[in-house]
Amino acid sequence: MEATLFYILAVVTIIGTVMAITEKHPVHAIVYLVTSFFSLAMIFFLLAAPLIAMFEVIIYAGAVMVLFMFVIMMLDLGRPSEAGLPGVRQWILPSVLGGIILLSIMAVAVRHFSAPDTHGIISITDFSVTLFRKYGIAIEIISMQLLFAVVGALYLGRKR
């Protein structure tokens, strides 16, 4: 049952992503992507990471995508771009490269992770303990990075 759900969600994710990247209308692309992220959040949930799933919804599908949407609207890029969708020829080389990477990862993954899995569920307590005990310094660094990002964004966005 859960496995079936995973595969359905996986298909939804992939379709959403494909639609997002092939959509010439940026706003539509964002919406497809939000769909994709929602299903990805569901996958996280199925993988016993409810906290990450929630963050995914809140931060990614919520904040980040909305930020994108804001910028698109602010810059008035909502219309389909004049150049439109890149031509077929421009897709060839990226697709080949992406295909090579995909196949390589697949090949490696299939061979090397067949060991049986273990262990029970990861509780939120475990997560929090690990986060703040073990990776306390990382938290500090990330928070400082966020601060710098705020300062930088303010600097770039100021009126002159």
Partner 1 sequence: MIVPLEHIIALAAILFSLGLVCTLVWRSNVIMLLIGIEIMLNAAMLVFVGGSSKWGMPDGQVFALMIMAMTSAEVSLALALVVYLHRRRNTVDVDEFRELRD
Partner 2 sequence: MWMNSGSSGTEMKLCLELIILLPLLGAIANLLLGGRLLPRRAGEVLACVAIWGSFVATLAAATAYSAPVTVEIASWLAVFDFKAPLSLYLDPLSLSLCLMITFVCGLIHIYAVEYMKDDPSYVRFFALLNLFVAAMLTLVLAENLPLLYLGWEGVGFCSYALIGFWYKDPKNATAGRKAFIVTRIGDIGLGIAIVWLFQLCGTVSILQINRMGTLLPMSVITALGLLMLLAAMGKSAQVPLMVWLPDAMAGPTPVSAQIHAATMVTAGVYLLMRMFPLIGASATVTAAIAVTGALTAFYGASCALAQRDLKRILAFSTISQIGYMMLGVGAGGITAATFHLLEHAFFKALLFLGAGCVITAMHHEQDIFRMGGLRRRLPATFWPFLGGALCLAGVPLTGGFFSKDGILGAVWLKGGALYSGLYVVGLITAFITAVYTTRMLLIVFEGEETDHCRGGSCARPDEEGHPQGAPLPRVMTITLIPLALLAIFGGLLNLPDYLGGGLLNTFLSHPGSQEQQLTHSSELLLQGLAAVVALGGMGAGWLRYGGLRRQLRLAEAQLPARGLTAFLMEGWRVDALYGLLFVRPYVRLSDFLWQKLDEGCIDDSLDRMAHLLGRCGQWLGGWGQGRVSLSLISMAAGAALLIGWFAWSLL
**Of residues 79-138, those binding partner 1 (CB under 8 A):** 81, 83, 86, 90-91, 93-95, 97-99, 101-102, 105-106, 109-110, 113-114, 117-122, 126-127, 129-131, 134-135, 138
Binding to partner 2 by residue 89, rule CB under 8 A? no
CA dihedral of 107, 111, 115, 121, whole degrees rounded to 10 = 0
Among 81, 104, 128, 130, contact with partner 2 (rule: CB under 8 A): 104
Structure tokens at 106: 């697949």
Helix (H, G, I), strand (E, B) or coil at 117: coil
3 binds, among partner 2, partner 1, none (CB under 5 to 8 A by kind): partner 1
Binding to partner 2 by residue 94, rule CB under 8 A? yes
CA distances from 113 to 12, 45, 70, 126 (A): 25, 22, 42, 25
Q: How far apart are CA 100 and CA 96, in angstroms?
A: 6
The contact set with partner 2 (CB under 8 A) reads: 93-94, 97-98, 100-101, 103-105, 107-108, 111-112
